[in-house]
Every structure is written in structure tokens, then in C-alpha cells.
Amino acid sequence: MKDNNVQDGNPPAVSRRQLVKFAGVGATFVAASSLAGAAVTSAAADDHRASGGSRGRAWHAGDHHVHSEYSGEFDTSTSPPTFHKGEDGVYPIVTNAIMAKHFGLTWAMCTDHGGPTHSKVNLELAYPELLRSRVLVPEVLQFWGMEFDAPALDHHTLMIPHQADEARQLFELESRFAKYDAFPTDPGRNTEARMVEFLRTAKDMRHKPLVIAHHTSRTATGLGVYGQDTPHEFRNGNNAAPDVYVGFEGAPGHQAGPLTGRARGGYSRHPTYGGFDQMTARVGGLWDSLLGEGRRWWITATSDSHVHWTRGGYDFWPGEYSKTHVHARHDYADIMDGLRNGRVWVGTGDLITGLDLTVTGRHGGAAMGGTLRLGSRDRDQVDIEIRFRPAAGENAGGQRPEVRRVDLIAGHVTGPAPGLDSDTNPTTKVVARFGPGDWRRQGPDHVIRYTLRDAGTDLYVRVRGTSTDEVEPLADGLESPWDDLWFYSNPVFVEAR
């Protein structure tokens, strides 16, 4: 199946009537707002600013976890099973793309659930709709992939590189390895060994996909009492394919839950913290344990959009609340490269629209996802700059949120953890907290500078910020998600040679 939507070509013009025909409610909303042919919002425009002048790269906001009507259900009383679309996710693929554009995203990914013989549904039904959506909404780079039924684990993003054979590549991986694709069910697919085999197969492909874990603590029953996803599974998978299995959602989707009386993120057994998964939110917790081994393990934020909260669901539209910002050129390959290599920061509620974290020594510097290597004579000080841009106008919740605090977090890189299920890094601490009196205005940005003394050991630094007065993010209840906003950077590593 050939993709005729060459990204550098000139797709045909699409009328507002055609958008409504193909996209339904989403297009109707956008058309009524006179946004179907207009530029994105001012907040989104801020997002695309060049940052650091790195080979034409800029920050591009996106979402790699969005469901369409092809997240359906299967009637297994027939053989083969009969697929009924729209039974879980309800929107056409193009509706999601239109809404992603409306809320300032420039890339997105369709990630529908699997099921018995779903690989054929993806190949024969969903993929042609993705091709049509790429033509209808060319401003949004639309990746192909799925919410992978990972053997022995909860769901994962499986992102396929944009290339002529992308549909067949996904079909091969889903049909061979997705734990629910076989019919009749094959229990032998649902093992950790099978997951490792899948990752090794993906690693050896010419066009390497990306794999990112979803809502990792949704089945956890307590703080550090994990459920379906465990630390040793992340480590074993990352060991098998470190350039494919690269991270997890720091902030899961379903963030609109409290607006309809449900748990934020769908975390009904143990809550999120400021909208972030416990594996990310706890300083010195699992994420820091993985970083303390020197693993390049990144976090993202997604909508997990199925049904909008105003229509009976508990989701926001793609980009309405959560955004994953990637430092890249506006092309498929570089967006994937940015995700693969940690040039990523995440935020909720458009608390900020830009974030740069740079670490500089006497003979060079590094930014998010990068590594600064220090010589023996320049370990006495490392200069850190945090630069963030507040939103210029209202966010999608009709608010003008303000950053009340920014935290600089640092931890040592000490090598392999004591055990595969280790989930702490006792060296990781908040080394400095900054309030409005600690940053200075520089054009539209706010700038913080800090010097880290005596960097005599390998370490990493990362940043988070909040609209709240919480010293550490508190367990979430039914407070409005718009009143509890956070942003997180991915780390910069420092190696002391």
C-alpha cells in the first residue's frame, strides 16, 4: 500500500465542506470557529520558536497516544472475529488531526487498541483513513502505529517510521507479537521473553520503530507497589533495545477525569501526583533510579483521547491539556530522532510554551537529552541556564496560569542498580528552588542561572515547574486539573572524565 502523501509535495486543497464530510464533529467545531484554514493559536506559535539554533530545529508540540474509531471491539463468536468500530474510541482519524491542529500540535500519532486479528483491521481499514487524513490536514505530521498490546505488560506506543512500507512494518510486528492478535488466543505470546524478542526484532529492522510505555502505574496499588509494569521489565527491555525502548509516559492521559467525578488519569487504585505517574513524580524514585544507571530513558505526556469529557468520556482533545514538545525540524524523521534522543520536555495546561535547559562547562555545553563531558581541569563548576516562556494568552481552560516555582533536580550516575527491581536513587535531590524573584525577564522569556560546584562525579540535571505552592506534588483527588499544572524537562547528563 503506497503512501501518496509525500510530505514535501503539494496536497490538494480541501474545502470546509469536505472536512465536515470526513471528520464530523471535530471539523464542524473548527469550521464554526473559522480555524479550518487559519494559523494555530498564539500559544502554539510560541511553541514553534527556534531554540538554540541547532540545524533549523525548533520546539514542536505533539501527542503520541490518540485513539480513533478503530479502537473498537471484536465479536469472537464468528470466525474470523467480526470487528465493530467506534465501540471505545469514537472519532475518525481526521477529526483527531483537526483538533490536534486547533490546539497547537504539529505532530500526532494514531494509537488504536489491538485485539484478535486487529493487524488486518489496521492494514486494510485504518491505514487508508490515515492516508486520507494526511491529505486533509497536512499541517500536522501524522505518524502511523498503534497502542501495542505488549506481552506481559500494559499498553505501549509502537511508533513506525514514516516510509513507504510503514503499513507492512506495523502489520509484521503486530501480527507476530501483539499478545491479543492471535485467534484463537495464544497464551505463549503473553510472556516477558516474548516482549524481549519483539524488542530485539524491532531493533534489527532497517527502519527502527520507537516503543514507549503507557500509564505505567495505573495498576499499582500503592506507592512503590507496582502492578502490571515493573522496574525489571523496563530494564530488561531497555537492555535488549536501548535505541527502541526509550521511555514511559510521565503524565498519562485521561486527565479530565476529575471534571466528571473520576480519578485523574484513570488511576483508581493509587493516584497520580500533579497529574504525573508516581514513577516520574517522586524525586529519587524509579525514573531517577533508571537515570542513575546512565540510561537514556525519557518521559512524555499524552491525551490518551477516546471520548471528550463533554461527551461522556474523561479525556481532553490532543493538545488541549497535555503536550510533548520535541526539539526537531518539522519532518517525520527528526521528530522521531528527538523522541529517541530525549530532546523533549512535557507540560500540562500550557503553563509555559517554551523550555530550554542547558549545561555549560569551560569547553562546551549540552541541552536536553545531551551529554556534557568535562575534562579533569574543568570540574570545579558547571553553569546551568533554565529558560522558560510563559503563555502569551489564555490556555484551553480559559485561564492565564502563572509559574509559581521552578525546581532544579540533580542526581549522581553511579552505574547498575543493586537489583533489576530497584526503584530509588538516594543521591537525587532538589538542589535549588526558584520563585518569581529569582528569574529575570529577557524578551518573552524568563531566565534562571545557577552554578553547580565541584562536579567531580558523573551526574544528570533536570527541571520541573508548577503553578501550585506544593513543595512536592501531592496525591491527586478530584481537584480541577486546570488548577494543578506542571512541566518537566528531560535530563542533561554530565560526564566527569
Percent of the chain with pLDDT over 90: 85
pLDDT band at 470 (very low <50, low <70, confident <90, very high): very high
First to last CA, the chain: 50
Q: Please calculate the CA angle 25-27-33 and round it to the nearest 5 degrees.
A: 105
Tens-digit pLDDT profile for residues 409-441 = 999 999 999 999 999 999 999 999 999 999 999
Tens-digit pLDDT profile for residues 127-178 = 999 999 999 999 999 999 999 999 999 999 999 999 999 999 999 999 999 9
Tens-digit pLDDT profile for residues 3-22 = 333 333 333 344 444 444 44
Give the three-state DSSP class for 239. Answer: helix
Instruction: Determine which of 325-334, 341-350, 361-370, 441-450 has the lowest per-residue pLDDT on average.
Output: 361-370
Q: What CA–CA distances, in Å, run from 322 to 253, 276, 337, 380, 469? A: 8, 11, 21, 38, 20
The answer to whether residue 37 scores a pLDDT higher than 50 is no
pLDDT band at 304 (very low <50, low <70, confident <90, very high): very high
The answer to whether residue 50 scores a pLDDT higher than 80 is no
* Beta-sheet pairing, 245-251 with 210-213: parallel
The answer to whether residue 41 scores a pLDDT higher than 80 is no
Query: Is residue 382 exposed (0-12), middle (13-18) or buried (19+ Cβ within 10 Å)?
Result: buried
What single-letter DSSP state applies at residue 236? Answer: H
- Considering the entire predicted model, what is its pTM? 0.92
pLDDT band at 196 (very low <50, low <70, confident <90, very high): very high
Bond before 12 cis per omega within 30 degrees: no
CA–CA separation, 370 and 490 (whole Å): 10
Tens-digit pLDDT profile for residues 267-288 = 999 999 999 999 999 999 999 9
What's the confidence (pLDDT) of residue 378? Answer: 76
Give the residue carrying C-alpha cell 490536514: 137
pLDDT band at 324 (very low <50, low <70, confident <90, very high): very high
CA–CA separation, 481 and 254 (whole Å): 11
CA–CA separation, 422 and 440 (whole Å): 40
pLDDT band at 25 (very low <50, low <70, confident <90, very high): low
Decide if 213 contacts 247 (C-beta within 8 A): yes
Q: Where are the alpha helices (DSSP H) in 272-383?
A: 278-281, 286-291, 332-340
Average pLDDT taken over every residue of the chain: 91
Residues paired with residue 412 on neighbouring β-strands, in sequence order: 459
The answer to whether residue 340 scores a pLDDT higher than 70 is yes
CA dihedral over 103, 106, 107, 112, signed as positive or negative: positive
What's the confidence (pLDDT) of residue 24? Answer: 55
